[in-house]
C-alpha cells in the first residue's frame, strides 16, 4: 500500500487509452453522455440506429432504465455475421478440453454454420422469440452455440452453472417458466464426470412444465431418456438448415436472465437486455484489455457466471476476437495446466480469479516457470478482492513483471466492468480496482446514506450515481424486488452491496460485501439460502451462516446450527447437514464448518447478532464489541468454547 504505484510499461505506451485520453474520455462521458454514447454505440451494427441515448430514473417511485430504446439489432449478427467478410477463417473460439489431448479451433465461418444450424434446431423444437431457454451445460463450444442461437432467434437464455443441484436447477427453471432445457450427457472436470443429464432428469421431476430437453452427446455415457421430451442435438442437426436469418430485436428486448444470490430470499433472475448490454460488453472488453486483432484472449470463468457471458462469449465475439474456452480445472492433470495452455495456444491476455491464483501459488513458481509465457502481454483478475501478495505473485512470477494486472470490479447486475485500471492509462497499485470505467460514477455513502466528500481518503458503502448501458433492467418477474434490493437502501442511488475506500490519490479499493452475501472462490451465495437449506432438515431448529477468511477460497462458509429438542450432535448429523446443503443448492455451497450451538446470540427483540457470529468465526473473539444488548450474554462464551478451528 505504501509502495510506489507500478508505472505503465513501455509496451502499453501506444495503448488506445493513454493517461491523457482516459482523462479526456472520462470527463466527456460524464459531462456529455449523449455525445459520448453516440460514438460508442457505433461499436455495434444496428439494423436501425437508435435516435435516443437513455431514459433513466433511479427514483424508486418511477424506476426505469432504458438505453438506445428505439434501436434495432441482433446480438448473434454482431458476434458472427458481421465478421465474416474480414475474419471468416480467424478462430472465434479455441476450445481446450478437460484432457490436454483434446483441443480445436472454431473459425468465424464455422461458428456461423454451427449457430445457424443450432438456431434451426431450436425453432424445430418450438422455441419462439421471447421464450426462456435454460442451459445446463459443460464448457464445450455447444454452450456458446446455444447462447448465440437463442440470441439469433430472439429467445432468452438462462444459463445455470453445472455446480448447482437438481433442486436449484428446478427452482430456476420454474421461476422463469422455461419450457426448454439444453444440456449434455455429462460434463468432465479434472477427469471426473459430472452427471448433467441425470441432474436435469431429477430437476424436471420438480419442474414439470418443460416440453423439450436437447442434449449434446459429449462423453457418450448412457443416460436416461424420456421419449417425446428428450432429443439428441446431433440427430436434430442432420436435417437442420445451414442458414437462419437473425431476428431483429429492439435494444430493450431481453437477451438473457442469470440467477444470482442476494442477502435475502431465493436467487434473483437478473435480466439483461440487448443493445445496452452488447455495447457495454464490447466496449469494456476493448478498453480494459486494450484489445488487439491478433490477441488470444482467455477468460477462465465458466459460462454459468456473468464473467463467462460477457468475457468468453459476448464481449470478445462482438469485437471479432479469438476467445479461448477451457473445459477443465487449473490444477489438472498438474498444477502447471494453465501455463501449459498459455504456451500451447500462445495466449496473450489471461483473465482469471484470485482464488485460482492463490491455489496455484501454493505449488510454488516451478510449474509456472516450466512453460513459455512470452506470448502474455496482459493479466486480469475478477470476482473478489485480490490480496496484494497474490497480486504480486501473479504480476512478478506469472507475468514476468512485464504484464500489467487489471483488477476488474463489477457484478452480475452491472453486465461488465465498472471499476478497473486500463493498462495504458493507470499506474497500478496491487489490490486496487483503481478508476471508474467511462460513464460510471461511483460514490461513497455512510450508513445513513450521507454522501462522503469526493476528495481525500474516504471509506464507506459503494453506490453508483447514474446508469450505464450494461446495467440490469429488472429482476425477472419481480420488478418491485429490483427496486427494493438496489434503490431503496440509499434512495436515488444504485447500492452495490460492497464496501469500498478511495485513497488520497483517487484509487478505489473494494473492501468486500457489506451485506449477507458470501463470496466463496468467486462464487456468490446468500447466507439466507444456505440457512433455509439447513433448517429444511428435520433435526435443525435454527441456523445462522456467516463467511470467514479462507486461505484459498477467499471466504469459507461457517454455519451455526441449533438442533431441535431431543436431537444430539454427532459426526453423522454433521455430514447429513452438509449433504443437505449440497442437495438443496449444490456442491458450490458445501459448508466448510458446522458448529452445533445450544443458542444463538440475539437481541431482546429476537434479532440474531450476526456481527458477533462473524467475529467468532473469524477467530477474533477478543474484539466482540458491545454485547450488552444481548438477551442472554452467556451464549457468547459457549459459542467461543465450541468454535471450529
Q: Please enumerate, by residue number, every residue annotated as part of a binding site for CoA.
A: 189-192, 307, 521, 582
Q: Shortest Cβ distance from residue 46 to ligand WT7 (Å)?
A: 27
Q: Shortest Cβ distance from residue 549 to ligand WT7 (Å)?
A: 14
First to last CA, the chain: 30
Q: Residue 273 or 408: which CB sits closer to ligand WT7?
A: 408
User: Is there a contact between 595 and 558 (Cβ–Cβ < 8 Å)?
Assistant: yes
Point out which span in 324-332, 401-409, 555-563, 588-596 binds ligand WT7 (CB under 6 A): 401-409
Pick from 163, 275, 308, 383 the residue near ligand WT7 by CB under 6 A: 383
User: Is there a contact between 469 and 53 (Cβ–Cβ < 8 Å)?
Assistant: no
Q: Binding site for ATP: which residues?
A: 383-385, 407-412, 498, 513, 524
Pick from 75, 433, 563, 585 the residue near ligand WT7 by CB under 6 A: 433
Q: Which of 389, 312, 309, 313 is nearest to 350 (CA)?
A: 312
Pick from 131, 498, 515, 584 the residue near ligand WT7 by CB under 6 A: 498
Q: Residue 108 or 409: which CB sits closer to ligand WT7?
A: 409
Q: Binding site: which residues?
A: 189-192, 307, 383-385, 407-412, 498, 513, 521, 524, 535, 537, 540, 582
Residues of this chain, 124-183, that bind ligand WT7 according to CB under 6 A: none
Q: Binding site for Mg(2+): which residues?
A: 535, 537, 540
Pick from 384, 516, 529, 574 the residue near ligand WT7 by CB under 6 A: 384
Q: Residue 374 or 447: which CB sits closer to ligand WT7?
A: 447
Pick from 410, 438, 486, 487 the residue near ligand WT7 by CB under 6 A: 410
Contacts for 44-49: CB closer than 8 Å, 24+ residues apart: 44/73, 44/78, 44/275, 44/278, 44/279, 44/282, 44/318, 45/73, 45/77, 45/78, 45/82, 46/71, 46/72, 46/73, 46/275, 47/72, 47/73, 47/74, 47/248, 48/72, 48/248
* Residue 412 binding ligand WT7, by CB under 6 A: yes
* Residue 586 binding ligand WT7, by CB under 6 A: no
User: Is there a contact between 277 and 184 (Cβ–Cβ < 8 Å)?
Assistant: no
Whole-number Å distance between alpha carbons of 80 and 244:
12
Q: Residue 230 or 384: which CB sits closer to ligand WT7?
A: 384
Point out which span in 44-52, 76-84, 511-519, 633-641 binds ligand WT7 (CB under 6 A): 511-519
* Residue 352 binding ligand WT7, by CB under 6 A: no
Q: Shortest Cβ distance from residue 510 to ligand WT7 (Å)?
A: 4
Q: Residue 415 or 591: which CB sits closer to ligand WT7?
A: 415
Whole-number Å distance between alpha carbons of 9 and 427:
9
Q: Shortest Cβ distance from residue 147 to ligand WT7 (Å)?
A: 17
Pick from 157, 236, 309, 513 the residue near ligand WT7 by CB under 6 A: 513
Pick from 375, 411, 532, 590 the residue near ligand WT7 by CB under 6 A: 411
* Residue 313 binding ligand WT7, by CB under 6 A: no
62: its cell numbers: 418511477
User: Is there a contact between 45 and 245 (Cβ–Cβ < 8 Å)?
Assistant: no
Point out which span in 48-56, 85-93, 118-126, 403-411 binds ligand WT7 (CB under 6 A): 403-411
* Residue 432 binding ligand WT7, by CB under 6 A: no
Q: Which residues pair with 519 in a beta bridge?
A: 524
DSSP letter, residue 219: S
473: its cell numbers: 433492467
Q: Residue 236 or 524: which CB sits closer to ligand WT7?
A: 524
Point out which span in 10-18, 104-112, 186-194, 407-415 binds ligand WT7 (CB under 6 A): 407-415
* Residue 306 binding ligand WT7, by CB under 6 A: yes
DSSP 287-330: HHTT--TT-EEEE---TTSHHHIIIIIIHHHHTT-EEEEE-S-T
User: Is there a contact between 358 and 390 (Cβ–Cβ < 8 Å)?
Assistant: yes
Q: Pick left, alpha or beta for residue 86 (phi over 0 → left; psi -120 to 50 → alpha; otherwise beta).
A: alpha
Q: Which residues pair with 540 in a beta bridge?
A: 563
Alpha carbon dihedral 433, 439, 444, 445, in 10-degree steps, equals: -150
User: Is there a contact between 540 and 508 (Cβ–Cβ < 8 Å)?
Assistant: no
Beta strand 103-107 with 91-96 is antiparallel
Count of residues that bind ligand WT7 according to CB under 6 A: 23
Beta strand 494-502 with 508-513 is antiparallel
Pick from 94, 169, 244, 382 the residue near ligand WT7 by CB under 6 A: 382
Pick from 119, 158, 215, 260 the residue near ligand WT7 by CB under 6 A: 260
Q: Shortest Cβ distance from residue 369 to ligand WT7 (Å)?
A: 26
Beta strand 554-563 with 593-596 is parallel
Q: Residue 153 or 433: which CB sits closer to ligand WT7?
A: 433
DSSP 8-74: PPGGGTT-SS-HHHHHHHHHHHHH-HHHHHHHHGGGS--SB--S--EEEE--TTS-EEEESTT-EE-
Q: Residue 230 or 498: which CB sits closer to ligand WT7?
A: 498
Which residue shows C-alpha cell 468465526? 617
Q: Shortest Cβ distance from residue 54 to ligand WT7 (Å)?
A: 23
260: its cell numbers: 444470482
Q: Shortest Cβ distance from residue 260 to ligand WT7 (Å)?
A: 5
* Residue 409 binding ligand WT7, by CB under 6 A: yes
Task: By CB under 6 A, name the binding residues for ligand WT7.
Answer: 260, 305-307, 382-385, 407-412, 433, 496-498, 510, 512-513, 519, 524
Amino acid at each position: 500500500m505504501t509502495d510506489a504505484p507500478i508505472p505503465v510499461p513501455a509496451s502499453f505506451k501506444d495503448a488506445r487509452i493513454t493517461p491523457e485520453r482516459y482523462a479526456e474520455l472520462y470527463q466527456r462521458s460524464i459531462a456529455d453522455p449523449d455525445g459520448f454514447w453516440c460514438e460508442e454505440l457505433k461499436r455495434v451494427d444496428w439494423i436501425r440506429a437508435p435516435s435516443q441515448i437513455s431514459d433513466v430514473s433511479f427514483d424508486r417511485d418511477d424506476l426505469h432504465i432504458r438505453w438506445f430504446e428505439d434501436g434495432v439489432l441482433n446480438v448473434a449478427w454482431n458476434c458472427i455475421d458481421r465478421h465474416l467478410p474480414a475474419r471468416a477463417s480467424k478462430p472465434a473460439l479455441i476450445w481446450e478440453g478437460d484432457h490436454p489431448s483434446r483441443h480445436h479451433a472454431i473459425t468465424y465461418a464455422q461458428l456461423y454454420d454451427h449457430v445457424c444450424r443450432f438456431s434451426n434446431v431450436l425453432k424445430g423444437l418450438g422455441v419462439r422469440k421471447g421464450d426462456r431457454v435454460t442451459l445446463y451445460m459443460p464448457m464445450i463450444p455447444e454452450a456458446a452455440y446455444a447462447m448465440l442461437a437463442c440470441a439469433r432467434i430472439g429467445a432468452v437464455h438462462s444459463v445455470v452453472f453445472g455446480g448447482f443441484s437438481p433442486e436449484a436447477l428446478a427452482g430456476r427453471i420454474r421461476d422463469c417458466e422455461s419450457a426448454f432445457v439444453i444440456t449434455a450427457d455429462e460434463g468432465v472436470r479434472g477427469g471426473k464426470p459430472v452427471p448433467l443429464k441425470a441432474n436435469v432428469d431429477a430437476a424436471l421431476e420438480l419442474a414439470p412444465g418443460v416440453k423439450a430437453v436437447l442434449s449434446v452427446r459429449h462423453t457418450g455415457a448412457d443416460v436416461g431418456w424420456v421419449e417425446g421430451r428428450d432429443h439428441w442435438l446431433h440427430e436434430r442437426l442432420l436435417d437442420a438448415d445451414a442458414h437462419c436469418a437473425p431476428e431483429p430485436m429492439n435494444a430493450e428486448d431481453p437477451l438473457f436472465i442469470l440467477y444470482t444470490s442476494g442477502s435475502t430470499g431465493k436467487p434473483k433472475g437478473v435480466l439483461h437486455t440487448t443493445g445496452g448490454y452488447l455495447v457495454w460488453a464490447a466496449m469494456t472488453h476493448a478498453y480494459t484489455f486494450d484489445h488487439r486483432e491478433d490477441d488470444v484472449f482467455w477468460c477462465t470463468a465458466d459460462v454459468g457466471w456473468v464473467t463467462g457471458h460477457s468475457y468468453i462469449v459476448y464481449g470478445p465475439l462482438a469485437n471479432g476476437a479469438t476467445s479461448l474456452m477451457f473445459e477443465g480445472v487449473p490444477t489438472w492433470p498438474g498444477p502447471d495446466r494453465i501455463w501449459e495452455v498459455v504456451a500451447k495456444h500462445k495466449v496473450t491476455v489471461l483473465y482469471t480469479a484470485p482464488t485460482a491464483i492463490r491455489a496455484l501459488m501454493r505449488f510454488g513458481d516451478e510449474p509456472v516457470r516450466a512453460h513459455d509465457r512470452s506470448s502474455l502481454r496482459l493479466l486480469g483478475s475478477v470476482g473478489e478482492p485480490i490480496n496484494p501478495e497474490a497480486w504480486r505473485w501473479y504480476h512478478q512470477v506469472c507475468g514476468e513483471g512485464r504484464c500489467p494486472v487489471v483488477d476488474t470490479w463489477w457484478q452480475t447486475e452491472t453486465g461488465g466492468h465498472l471499476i478497473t485500471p486500463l493498462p495504458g492509462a493507470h499506474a497500478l497499485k496491487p489490490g486496487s480496482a483503481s478508476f471508474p470505467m467511462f460513464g460510471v460514477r461511483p460514490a461513497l455513502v455512510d450508513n445513513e446514506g450521507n454522501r462522503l466528500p469526493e476528495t481525500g481518503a474516504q471509506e464507506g458503502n459503494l453506490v453508483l450515481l447514474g446508469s450505464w448501458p450494461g446495467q440490469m433492467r429488472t429482476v425477472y418477474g419481480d420488478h418491485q424486488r429490483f427496486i427494493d434490493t438496489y434503490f431503496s437502501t440509499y434512495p436515488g442511488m444504485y447500492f452495490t452491496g460492497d464496501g469500498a475506500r478511495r485513497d488520497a490519490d483517487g484509487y478505489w479499493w473494494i473492501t468486500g460485501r457489506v451485506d449477507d452475501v458470501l463470496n466463496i472462490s468467486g462464487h456468490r451465495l446468500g447466507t439466507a439460502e444456505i440457512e433455509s437449506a439447513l433448517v429444511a432438515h428435520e433435526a435443525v431448529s435454527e441456523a445462522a451462516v456467516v463467511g470467514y477468511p479462507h486461505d484459498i477460497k477467499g471466504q469459507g462458509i461457517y454455519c451455526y446450527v441449533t438442533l431441535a429438542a431431543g436431537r444430539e450432535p454427532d459426526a453423522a448429523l454433521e455430514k447429513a447437514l452438509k449433504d443437505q446443503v449440497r442437495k438443496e443448492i449444490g456442491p458450490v455451497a458445501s459448508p466448510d464448518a458446522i458448529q452445533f450451538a445450544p443458542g444463538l446470540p440475539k437481541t431482546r427483540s429476537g434479532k440474531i447478532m450476526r456481527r458477533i457470529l462473524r467475529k467468532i468465526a473469524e477467530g477474533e473473539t477478543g474484539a466482540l464489541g458491545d454485547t450488552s444488548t444481548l438477551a442472554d450474554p452467556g451464549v457468547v462464551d459457549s459459542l467461543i468454547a465450541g468454535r471450529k478451528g
